[in-house]
C-alpha cells in the first residue's frame, strides 16, 4: 500500500495520554532480566586481561601457564580474533579495540581473555598470563596530542581534509570545516567582539548497568548472544563480521537495558565472549566490572574550543567562528565534525565558520554520548553568546531571540531549515515564571540553547492480531526510554482500540528484519512510523475480512474507531464489526491477520531546547547547589508526554553532573585515577532539584503524527546554562568544565 | 541537472570544489555519477553519506527523487547516542 509519511494534522485519542509503563512492575520488583540476569546451563565465566600501560608495544604474550590451570577452558589473544575486516578501517579499529594486536593504546586496553569454571579460577588465570610490554611515551591531553613533539599513536594516520596530504603522520586524523559567508568581513561590521577559549574534560555516560552478555557458539557454528545493547541487529553484524560468521547464524537477543546513552551502540566485550565460547565449546558469560566500564568502554571526548562572535550595537550577530579540538581515544572518529556542525545551529548567521580537529590520545575509544559532541560545542558558544549580550547590554534571552534561526534560515552546517522550534522555546523561556523568580545572595541564573539533528534509519515492525482481538507488536528498536509504551499507543491510535490491548515486545534478530540501533533519537520516531504503516496494512486486511463477511466490495468498507463499517445507505442494516469480532472469525475468513512494515524512516525533524538554571555558589569553598532547573523543548508531538518529560529531566540531570563534577582524571603515568562511582561522581538525588519541563509541539512535517526525536537534545544546553549561572553567581566567567569546587574557587581567587 | 553542495572535507576530495553540477534524477544516480566523475568521493559514498534535499536529511533512501531546482547538500552520515 502507499504510505504517506507526511504530517496532515489530526486529533488523537490514545497518543498524548499517559498510561502506566508496561515494563515498570517487572523493573521495580526485580523480575526484569538485564544483561547479567541471564544464565545458560554449563556456562563459563569470562574475564579480560587489560593493559596497565597507556601506550606500549606488545612484544609477546605467554598464556601457557594460564591454560594449564585446572578449571580454565579457554584462553584467547588477538590471534584468536584474526583480522577478517578486508580493509574496512572502521571495523579494524573495532577489532583492535576489542583485543589489542600490536600495541596497547590506553590503560585498560584488552590484551587477552580467559573462560573458566568460576570467577576465582578466571581471575587466577589472568594473573598467570605473561605479557612482555615495551612501554612507549604517551599523551592523554587533546592539546598536547596536537603538538609536533607529541608521541604519535599510529604511524599510518595522515591528517585527512587538508588541501595537501601531509608528509608526516600525526595524531590529528581529520580536519573538517563548515560555514558560509565571509567571517572576516563580518567581524569588520561588528561593534563588539567576544573571543574565548574553553575546555571540557572527558566524561562517561555513567549508565547504571555495566556491559554484560552471554555468548554460546555451538559445534555446528551457529551461535546465540544475549546482551545488553542499544542495537542488537548492529551487534549481530559487527560480531558476525569480526568472527567470520554469516549473520543469520548468530541470533542476538537484547536484554532489558539499564542505561546506554550512546555507550551501548558499540561492541566491546561481545566479540571476545563469542571467541571464548567458540574455543571452549561452552556458553561464556562476560560482565564488565565498573572499573572496566570506565577504563575500557567509550567515554565522550575531552575538548578544547576557541570561539569568536561579533555583533552590532543593535544586537545582530555579524560573524561567528569556532575552532574545535576533540579527543577520539586511539581511533579515528567524527566527534569534532559533529561539534563543528552543531556549534552555531541555533542561530541565523550570514557569516559563520567552524573548523574541527579529530585528535588521537592514549585514552579509551570515544563513544557516542547523547547528542554526541554537541554539549561541549554549545557550552563554548552559549557562554560566548551570554558574554556578548552582556557587553552589548542586552538581556541574554532577547539577544538570542533576535538572532534565532527560523524556518527558511540557512543552518550553519548547510541546509535550509523547515519548521523549527528554537524561537518558540526561547519565547516560552522568556515568559516562564522561572525567569522572573527572585534570586538571593551568591545566586545566579543562566540560560542556554541547544540543537540536535535527530535521525531515522532502517526500521522493521510486525503487528499481529490475536484471535481474541489483542495485538502483539514486534519491534526491532531497543527500548531505552519508554518506546514500547509509546509504540503501543501508536498502534492503539491507528487501530482505534484500547492501549491495554496492545503489547509491544523487542524481537530478537532472527524474528524480524534488520533495524538500525536505538540512537540518534530515532527509536520512537522511526518505529512509530513503521507501526503506523504496519497497522494500516492490517486494517486493509480487516476491511477485506469484513467485506468478505458481508459479501460486499472492500471499497465500501471503512475503518473507524476500531470497527469495520459498511458505508452507504444501502448497507444501513449491517451492524459494524469490531476488530475483536473480525479477529475471532479470522480462522474461517482467511487465517491470521497481521500487518508488516519495513521502511527507511528518513525525514527526522531537527530539535531545539532552551534551559534555565539557578545556582548558588559558596564563595569560600567554590561549592555549588542547583536551586532550580527548567527545560523547554520541542517534541514535534509527544506520544507519551511522561516519557518525553523523563527524557528532558534525564538529559538535564546528566548535564548537571557533566557541568559540575564529572571528569576522567589521568595521572602522569597515563593511568585513569578514578574508575569508579566513588571518585567519578555522578549526581545523586540530593544533588538535583526537581526539574521542571515544558513540552512544545511544532510538528515535524515528515512524520504522520508530527513526531520528532526527543532523547538527545536535552543534554545539549545544560553545560552552558549551568556555566552561565555559575559565572553570574560567582562574578567570574567560567571556561573549564567541570566546574568543580577547586576550579570555581581558583577562578574566584584569580579575579580578586 | 542539480547543483550539489559538498561540505568542506568532501570538497577536498572533489578537486577542491564546494559545488558540483550533476545530471541525476534520484539519490542512487547522484551517488553513481559522483563516484564516476570524482573517484576520490567513492570511498566515502561507500561508507555512507547523507543527502539533504531542500532541508530534509535523507540517510538511506536511494530512491528519493531530486526535484529540479532543489537545494542538495551532501553531509556526513550522522552518529547519535
A659 phi, psi to nearest 5 deg? -75, -35
Beta bridge partners of residue A630, listed in sequence order: A612, A692
Q: If you average pLDDT over every residue of chain A, what do you get? A: 97
Cis peptide before A121 (omega within 30 of 0): no
Residue A22: the pLDDT is: 85
Residue A203: the pLDDT is: 98
The most distant pair of C-alpha atoms in chain A lies apart, rounded to whole Å, by 89
Q: Which residues of A touch B17 (CB under 8 A)?
A: none
Nearest to B57 among A162, A368, A455 (CB): A455
Is A324 within 8 Å of A309 (Cβ atoms)?
Answer: no
Asked whether the CA dihedral A522, A528, A533, A534 is positive or negative, the reply is: positive
CB contact under 8 A, B9 and A603: no
Nearest to A644 by CA among A727, A528, A740, A544: A528
pLDDT at A9 over 60: yes
Of A163-167, A302-306, A643-647, least confident by mean pLDDT is A163-167
Q: Cα dist. A302→A297, A355, A663 in Å?
A: 15, 16, 9
Helix or strand (DSSP H, E) at B3: strand B2-6
Beta bridge partners of residue A475, listed in sequence order: A461, A506
DSSP state of A500: G
Residue A106: the pLDDT is: 98
A514 Cβ contact partners less than 8 Å away, ≥ 6 residues apart: A233, A458, A460, A476
Is B5 within 8 Å of A414 (Cβ atoms)?
Answer: yes
- The whole-number average pLDDT for the span A190-212 is 98
Stretch 175-194 of chain A: residues touching chain B, C-beta under 8 Å: 175-178
Percent of chain A with pLDDT over 90: 97
Other CB atoms within 10 Å distance of the CB of residue A557: 24
Q: Which residues of B touch A368 (CB under 8 A)?
A: 79-81
Given pLDDT bands bounded at 50, 70 and 90, which one contains residue B61? confident
Residues A359-391 pLDDT 10s: 999 999 999 999 999 999 999 999 999 999 999
Buried residues in B14-27 as b, exposed as e (16+ CB within 10 A)? beeeeebebebeeb
pLDDT at A583 over 60: yes
Residue A404: the pLDDT is: 98
Stretch 666-725 of chain A: residues touching chain B, C-beta under 8 Å: 702, 712
Residue B17: the pLDDT is: 87
Closest CA–CA distance from residue A411 to any residue of chain B (Å): 9
**CB-based burial label for A42 (10 Å; 0-12, 13-18, 19+):** exposed
Residues in chain B, total: 81
In a 13 Å sphere around the CA of A101, the CA atoms on its Cβ side amount to 12
Is A504 within 8 Å of A586 (Cβ atoms)?
Answer: no
pLDDT at A117 over 70: yes
pLDDT at A180 over 80: yes
Residue B16: the pLDDT is: 82
pTM of the model: 0.97
CB contact under 8 A, A602 and B61: yes
The rounded Cα A105 to chain-centroid distance in angstroms is 25
Is A535 within 8 Å of A562 (Cβ atoms)?
Answer: no
Percent of chain A with pLDDT over 70: 100
CB contact under 8 A, A712 and B81: yes
CB contact under 8 A, A261 and B76: no
Residue A1: the pLDDT is: 52
Given pLDDT bands bounded at 50, 70 and 90, which one contains residue B79? confident
Stretch 320-339 of chain A: residues touching chain B, C-beta under 8 Å: 334, 337-338
Of A117-121, A157-161, A197-201, A247-251, least confident by mean pLDDT is A157-161
- The whole-number average pLDDT for the span A712-734 is 98
pLDDT at A336 over 60: yes
| CATH numbers and ranges of domains, chain B | 2-76 (3.10.20.30)
Residue A2: the pLDDT is: 65
- The whole-number average pLDDT for the span B60-70 is 88
Residue A437: the pLDDT is: 98
Nearest to A353 by CA among A401, A318, A313, A302: A318
DSSP state of B26: B
- The whole-number average pLDDT for the span A344-369 is 98
Residues A23-48 pLDDT 10s: 899 999 999 999 999 999 999 999 99
pLDDT at B8 over 90: no
pLDDT at A529 over 60: yes
pLDDT at A483 over 70: yes
Stretch 593-632 of chain A: residues touching chain B, C-beta under 8 Å: 600, 602-604
Nearest to A163 among B12, B60, B79 (CB): B12
Greater model confidence, A168 or A165: A168
pLDDT at A681 over 90: yes
Is A46 within 8 Å of A113 (Cβ atoms)?
Answer: yes
Stretch 532-561 of chain A: residues touching chain B, C-beta under 8 Å: none
Residue A163: the pLDDT is: 80
CB contact under 8 A, A371 and B9: no
pLDDT at A597 over 80: yes
CA distance between the termini of chain A: 71
Pairing state of beta strands A72-76 and A110-116?
antiparallel
H-type alpha helices, A356-431:
374-392, 396-403, 422-431
CB contact under 8 A, A161 and B8: yes
Asked whether the CA dihedral A392, A395, A397, A401 is positive or negative, the reply is: negative
- The whole-number average pLDDT for the span A337-345 is 97
Could you give the 3-state DSSP secondary structure of residue A345? Answer: coil
Q: What is the Cα–Cα distance from A421 to A98, expressed in whole angstroms?
A: 41
Residues A391-446 pLDDT 10s: 999 999 999 999 999 999 999 999 999 999 999 999 999 999 999 999 999 999 99
Q: Cα dist. A228→A35, A165, A214, A407, A633 in Å?
A: 5, 41, 10, 40, 29
Stretch 95-124 of chain A: residues touching chain B, C-beta under 8 Å: none
Closest CA–CA distance from residue A91 to any residue of chain B (Å): 11
Torsion angle of C-alpha atoms A14, A16, A17, A18, degrees rounded to 10: 130
Given pLDDT bands bounded at 50, 70 and 90, which one contains residue A487? very high
Q: What is the Cα–Cα distance from A279 to A258, expressed in whole angstroms?
A: 30
Q: What is the Cα–Cα distance from A458 to A599, expressed in whole angstroms?
A: 6
Q: What is the Cα–Cα distance from A511 to A462, expressed in whole angstroms?
A: 9
Closest CA–CA distance from residue B60 to any residue of chain A (Å): 7
Strand order in the sheet with A103-104: A103-104, A56-62, A130-135
- The whole-number average pLDDT for the span A600-605 is 93
Amino acid at each position: 500500500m502507499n504510505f504517506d509519511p507526511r504530517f496532515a494534522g489530526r486529533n488523537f485519542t490514545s497518543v498524548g495520554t499517559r498510561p502506566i509503563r508496561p515494563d515498570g512492575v517487572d523493573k521495580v520488583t526485580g523480575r526484569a532480566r538485564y544483561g547479567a540476569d541471564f544464565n545458560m546451563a554449563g556456562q563459563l565465566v569470562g574475564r579480560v586481561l587489560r593493559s596497565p600501560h597507556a601506550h606500549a608495544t606488545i612484544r609477546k604474550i605467554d598464556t601457557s601457564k594460564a591454560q594449564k590451570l585446572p578449571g580454565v577452558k579457554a584462553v584467547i589473544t588477538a590471534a584468536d580474533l584474526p583480522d577478517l575486516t578486508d580493509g574496512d578501517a572502521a571495523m579494524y579499529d573495532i577489532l583492535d579495540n576489542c583485543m589489542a594486536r600490536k600495541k596497547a593504546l590506553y590503560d585498560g586496553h584488552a590484551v587477552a581473555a580467559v573462560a573458566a569454571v568460576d570467577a576465582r579460577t578466571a581471575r587466577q588465570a589472568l594473573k598467570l598470563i605473561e605479557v612482555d610490554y615495551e612501554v612507549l611515551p604517551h599523551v592523554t591531553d587533546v592539546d598536547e596530542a596536537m603538538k609536533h613533539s607529541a608521541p604519535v599513536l599510529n604511524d599510518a594516520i595522515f591528517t585527512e581534509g587538508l588541501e595537501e596530504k601531509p608528509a608526516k603522520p600525526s595524531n590529528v586524523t581529520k580536519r573538517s570545516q563548515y560555514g558560509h559567508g565571509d567571517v572576516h568581513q563580518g567581524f569588520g561590521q561588528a561593534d563588539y567582539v567576544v573571543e574565548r577559549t574553553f575546555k571540557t574534560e572527558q566524561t562517561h555516560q555513567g549508565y547504571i548497568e555495566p556491559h554484560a552478555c552471554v555468548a554460546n557458539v555451538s559445534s555446528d557454528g551457529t551461535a546465540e548472544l544475549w546482551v545488553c545493547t542499544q542495537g542488537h541487529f548492529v551487534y549481530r553484524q559487527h560480531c558476525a563480521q569480526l568472527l567470520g560468521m554469516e549473520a543469520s547464524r548468530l541470533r542476538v537477543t537484547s536484554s532489558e537495558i539499564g542505561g546506554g546513552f550512546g555507550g551501548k551502540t558499540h561492541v566491546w566485550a561481545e566479540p571476545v565472549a563469542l571467541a571464548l565460547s567458540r574455543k571452549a565449546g561452552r556458553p561464556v558469560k562476560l560482565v564488565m566490572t565498573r572499573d572496566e566500564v570506565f577504563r575500557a568502554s567509550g567515554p565522550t571526548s575531552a575538548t578544547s574550543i576557541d570561539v569568536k562572535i561579533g555583533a552590532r550595537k543593535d544586537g545582530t550577530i555579524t560573524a561567528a567562528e569556532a575552532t574545535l579540538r576533540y579527543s577520539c581515544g586511539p581511533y579515528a572518529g567524527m566527534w569534532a565534525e559533529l561539534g563543528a556542525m552543531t556549534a552555531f545551529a541555533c542561530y541565523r548567521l550570514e557569516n559563520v565558520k567552524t573548523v574541527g580537529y579529530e585528535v588521537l590520545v592514549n585514552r579509551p575509544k570515544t563513544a557516542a554520548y547523547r547528542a554526541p559532541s554537541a554539549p561541549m560545542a554549545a557550552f563554548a558558544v552559549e557562554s560566548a553568546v551570554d558574554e556578548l549580550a552582556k557587553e552589548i547590554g542586552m538581556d541574554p534571552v532577547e539577544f538570542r531571540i533576535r538572532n534565532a534561526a527560523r524556518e527558511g534560515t540557512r543552518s550553519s552546517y548547510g541546509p535550509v531549515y523547515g519548521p523549527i522550534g528554537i524561537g518558540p522555546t526561547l519565547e516560552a523561556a522568556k515568559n516562564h515564571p522561572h525567569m522572573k523568580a527572585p534570586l538571593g545572595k551568591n545566586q545566579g541564573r543562566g540560560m542556554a540553547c541547544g540543537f540536535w539533528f535527530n535521525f531515522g534509519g532502517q526500521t522493521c515492525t510486525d503487528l499481529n492480531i490475536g484471535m481474541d482481538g489483542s495485538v502483539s507488536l514486534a519491534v526491532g528498536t531497543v527500548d531505552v526510554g519508554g518506546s514500547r509504551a509509546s509504540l503501543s499507543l501508536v498502534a492503539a491510535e491507528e487501530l482505534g482500540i484500547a492501549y491495554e490491548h496492545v503489547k509491544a515486545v523487542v524481537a530478537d534478530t532472527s524474528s524480524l528484519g534488520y533495524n538500525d540501533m536505538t540512537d540518534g533519537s530515532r527509536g520512537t520516531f522511526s518505529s512509530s512510523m513503521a507501526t503506523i504503516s504496519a497497522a494500516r496494512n492490517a486494517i486493509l486486511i480487516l476491511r477485506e475480512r469484513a467485506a468478505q463477511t458481508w459479501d460486499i466490495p472492500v471499497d465500501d468498507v471503512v475503518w473507524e474507531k476500531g470497527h469495520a463499517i459498511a458505508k452507504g445507505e444501502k448497507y444501513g442494516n449491517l451492524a459494524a464489526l469490531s476488530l475483536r469480532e473480525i479477529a475471532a472469525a479470522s480462522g474461517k475468513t482467511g487465517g491470521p491477520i497481521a500487518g508488516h512494515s519495513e521502511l527507511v524512516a528518513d525525514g527526522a525533524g531537527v530539535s531545539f531546547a532552551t534551559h534555565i538554571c539557578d545556582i548558588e555558589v559558596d564563595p569560600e569553598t567554590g561549592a555549588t547547589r542547583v536551586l532550580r532547573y527548567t527545560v523547554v523543548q520541542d517534541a514535534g508531538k509527544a506520544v507519551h508526554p511522561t516519557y518525553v518529560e523523563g527524557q528532558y529531566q534525564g538529559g538535564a540531570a546528566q548535564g548537571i553532573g557533566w557541568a559540575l563534577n564529572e571528569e576522567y582524571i589521568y595521572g602522569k603515568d597515563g593511568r585513569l585515577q578514578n574508575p569508579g562511582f566513588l571518585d567519578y561522581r555522578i549526581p545523586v538525588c540530593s544533588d538535583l532539584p526537581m526539574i521542571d519541563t515544558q513540552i512544545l509541539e511544532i510538528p515535524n512535517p515528515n512524520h504522520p503524527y508530527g513526531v520528532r526525536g526527543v532523547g538527545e537534545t536535552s543534554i545539549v544546553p545544560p553545560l552552558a546554562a549551568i556555566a552561565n549561572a555559575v559565572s553570574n553567581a560567582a562574578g567570574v566567567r567560567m571556561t573549564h568544565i567541570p566546574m568543580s569546587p577547586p576550579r570555581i574557587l581558583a577562578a574566584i581567587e584569580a579575579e580578586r | 541537472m542539480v547543483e550539489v553542495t559538498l561540505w568542506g572535507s568532501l570538497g577536498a576530495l572533489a578537486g577542491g570544489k564546494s559545488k558540483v553540477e550533476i545530471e541525476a534524477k534520484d539519490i542512487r544516480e547522484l551517488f553513481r555519477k559522483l563516484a564516476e566523475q570524482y573517484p576520490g568521493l567513492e570511498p566515502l559514498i561507500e561508507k555512507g553519506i547523507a543527502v539533504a534535499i531542500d532541508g530534509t536529511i535523507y540517510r538511506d533512501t536511494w530512491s528519493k527523487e531530486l526535484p529540479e531546482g532543489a537545494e542538495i547538500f551532501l553531509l556526513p552520515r550522522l552518529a547519535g547516542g
